[in-house]
Amino acid sequence: MTSCCSSVSRWYVLVTNLLFICLGLAFLVFGLLGYKEHFKGSTLFPDSYFYLVAILGGIIIVSAILGITQAFVRSKALLLIYILVVLVALVYQIVIGIKVYKKAADPVGYLAPLWTSSPESYRLHVQDEFNCCGFNNNMDHPAITSECNPQAGKVLHLAPCYNSLVDYIKSYFSKLYLVLFAALAIELLALSNAITILCTQRSLGDAYDRHQRRRSGIKLDEISVVDSPTTIVGSHNHLTEEEHKQYIYSSKPHEPYANYNSNSNSNSNSNLNDSHHYNLYGDPDRSDSHQRLNAHDERVNHYY
């Protein structure tokens, strides 16, 4: 049963981390393509976003490799490192998703300062991609071309870039942050799986220790919780080996111990009559007083 559960857990780890690798590769490719401006509208993304997403993809790939390795190595230290890397990727991904969401929630507030502060070459590239002229209107900071020269009256019915750019930001930025937040489910799955394995290893380790102690044949004296003169298994008992065996294997286990107590009591009574031994309380003065009192009573009885 244990080997079956271990095999299922291993395959579960492998599948989870293979999905993790696919996710990391997707983020890495997106970051590289955006940095090289290989898709329409990539210039509207801040350059830092592509760096962040590419780094996130690299972190996810590294954590997935650690997870796959841990499935075969079964190292607690490696598992803890894996959990730490996944947590870093999780927090890092949330931060990127929040950044993208803020831009998607306020596209005008993002695009207006970007358009006015960008050089003419940047605006020209955007106008060529979206086939527009100017931002709010044709006179709003256009990049002058043969088709977009409002001062010379050459616009050729080109619409402003406002609507096209706002729609693009709402659409593609929203898709990006939705992917980032949805991908958190895979990371949470990997994290929960790693924590489950960690707890399982700990419980199996405790069970193994108990099994080893059970097989080691530790004596009762060494594991006894109660340690007093009145207990049979305590380290202070004074039973001889024969009496101990008789107590254990007797059908009436209390009789030997009772005999032992009666023998002890008879020895104690004889000690009380001996003037050279202590009384029950270990006080020699009180023992002498008791003997003198008995002698006085005997003399009185003899007199009468």
Q: What is the pLDDT of residues 134-158, one digit of tens each?
A: 999 888 999 988 888 887 776 667 8
56-70, 212-226, 282-296: segment of lowest average pLDDT: 212-226
94 lies in the same domain as 149: yes
For residue 259, tell me if it sits in a domain.
yes
For residue 236, tell me if it sits in a domain.
yes
141 lies in the same domain as 181: yes
pLDDT at 57: 95
252 lies in the same domain as 197: no
Return the HEC string of 248-283: HHCCCCHHHHHHHHHHHHHHHHHHHHCCCCCCCCCC
48 lies in the same domain as 188: yes
81 lies in the same domain as 155: yes
- CA 55, CA 60: separation in Å to the nearest integer? 9
Query: What are the DSSP calls for the chain, one per residue?
Result: -HHHHHHHHHHHHHHHHHHHHHHHHHHHHHHHHHHTT-STTGGGS-HHHHHHHHHHHHHHHHHHHHHHHHHHH--HHHHHHHHHHHHHHHHHHHHHHHHHHHHHH-HHHHHHHHHHHS-HHHHHHHHHHHT--SSSSTTSSPPP-SS-BGGGTB-TTPPPSHHHHHHHIIIIIHHHHHHHHHTHHHHHHHHHHHHHHHHHHHHHHHHHHHHHHHHHT--HHHH-S--STT-SSSTT----HHHHHHHHH-SSTHHHHHHHHHHHHHHHHHHHH-TTS--TTS-HHHHHHHHHHHHHHHHHHHH-
pLDDT at 72: 83
For residue 299, tell me if it sits in a domain.
no
**The tokens of 75 are what?**
């190292």
For residue 284, tell me if it sits in a domain.
no
112 lies in the same domain as 241: no
> How distant, in Å, are the alpha carbons of 204, 221, 230, 239, 254 from that of 235?
32, 6, 10, 11, 19
At residue 273, does pLDDT exceed 50? no
15 lies in the same domain as 159: yes
Amino acid at 53: V
Closest among 170, 176, 168, 172 to 27, alpha carbons compared: 176
For residue 220, tell me if it sits in a domain.
no
For residue 287, tell me if it sits in a domain.
no
pLDDT at 23: 93
Q: How confident is the model at residue 268 (pLDDT cuts 50, 70, 90)?
A: very low
Residues 169-199: tens digit of each pLDDT: 999 999 999 999 999 998 898 888 888 888 8
pLDDT at 199: 81
102 lies in the same domain as 154: yes
Closest among 75, 99, 126 to 181, alpha carbons compared: 99
What average pLDDT does the structure give for the chain?
Answer: 75
Quick one: average pLDDT of 228-244?
Answer: 50
- For 154: left if phi > 0, alpha if psi spans -120 to 50, otherwise beta; the answer is beta
- CA 176, CA 44: separation in Å to the nearest integer? 13
Sign of the alpha-carbon dihedral angle for 60, 34, 110, 130: negative
- CA 289, CA 136: separation in Å to the nearest integer? 119
129 lies in the same domain as 252: no
For residue 203, tell me if it sits in a domain.
yes
Amino acid at 170: K
Q: Give the count of domains, the chain.
A: 2
173 lies in the same domain as 247: no
For residue 140, tell me if it sits in a domain.
yes
196 lies in the same domain as 62: yes
Looking at per-residue pLDDT, the higher value among 298 and 94 belongs to: 94
Range of the domain at 132: 2-209
41 lies in the same domain as 183: yes
At residue 83, does pLDDT exceed 80? yes
Residues 12-30: tens digit of each pLDDT: 788 888 998 999 999 999 9
Return the HEC string of 205-260: HHHHHHHHHHHHCCCHHHHCCCCCCCCCCCCCCCCCHHHHHHHHHCCCCHHHHHHH
